Structure 1
Amino acid sequence: MALLAFNKLLLVIGFVCLIHAAYSAAQHRTYLRITEQESSFLPFDILLQAITSLFLIIYSLLQVVGDFKEIRAAVDLQGKSWETLSNIPSFYTFNHRGKALSPLYVNPSSGKSSLDSED
């Protein structure tokens, strides 16, 4: 329990350091704009702080969230047979032109069945 609290504290410290690095970067860009200097790179200390805080956040998140599940399709499909795998109800089609081939089909426009004689 104490280890979990420590990892949560590291997570908060990582986010605070990342926010501080972002604020420092914005302040540096403002300083460059005011002094009319041209530089496309941030100072090394700001980059180092941002990268270090990102690694700290990643590490502490991995410790806080717990165990991960496996991403293997075979684990989910072990209990299913081939018949259930090919059964996809969303592909069922009931309104198709094949029903017009049935002798019991009633044409909606004429109201006649195909079995009715055309006398």
Structure 2
Amino acid sequence: MAALIHKLFLLAGLLSLFHAAYSAAQHRSYLRITEQKFVSLPIDILTQGIVSLFVAMYGIMHIAGDFKEIRATVDLENKSWETVRNIPSFYVFNHRGKALSPNYVPPVQKSSLEEIHS
């Protein structure tokens, strides 16, 4: 239930922020049409933009969950030195080192003439 409320906060904040941006663009168009000089946005548009930004940030922070520490040492403190270098995607099981084993039997290769005639 709380997640739904936070998603509604985010949606309301984003919609309000887009509305403030549209209102700012519309205000600039009005000033161009009436040939007035642009000084600043009206206070209601500024207030709506700032409040909607904070409402959207509130929704995002609660939807995203707990933040992780930026420092890498926080995650590495719980690991031992042996497990830091453990990267399964770099495991190689078929390498040249097996040829150094006394029990290694090299595979039989066919000659190029045998391959043509077979």
Report what 1:109 is aligned to. none
Higher mean Cα deviation, 70-79 or 58-67? 70-79
**Structure 1 runs of 4+ with >6 Å offset:** none
Superposed CA RMSD in Å reads 1.8
| Aligned pairs for 1:1-119 within 5 A | 2-78=1-77, 79=79, 81=81
For structure 1, the residue ranges without an aligned partner over 5 or more in a row are: 86-119
What percent of counterpart residues are identical? 54
Distance 2:40 2:23 in 1: 13
Query: For residues 64 and 75 of structure 1, do their structure 2 counterparts lie closer, same or farther at Cα, with a shift above 3 Å needed?
Result: same
Q: Which amino acid aligns with 2:3?
A: L
Whose helix fraction is larger, Structure 1's or Structure 2's? 2
Distance 1:29 1:52 in 2: 21
TM-score (structure 2 length as normaliser): 0.63
Q: Which amino acid aligns with 1:10?
A: F
Query: For residues 14 and 44 of structure 1, do their structure 2 counterparts lie closer, same or farther at Cα, with a shift above 3 Å needed?
Result: same
SS in 2 for 1:59: helix
Distance 1:12 1:77 in 2: 37
Map Cα deviations across residues 40-69 of structure 1 (whole Å, 9 max, x no partner): 200000000000000001111001111111
Count of matched residue pairs: 82
TM-score (structure 1 length as normaliser): 0.62
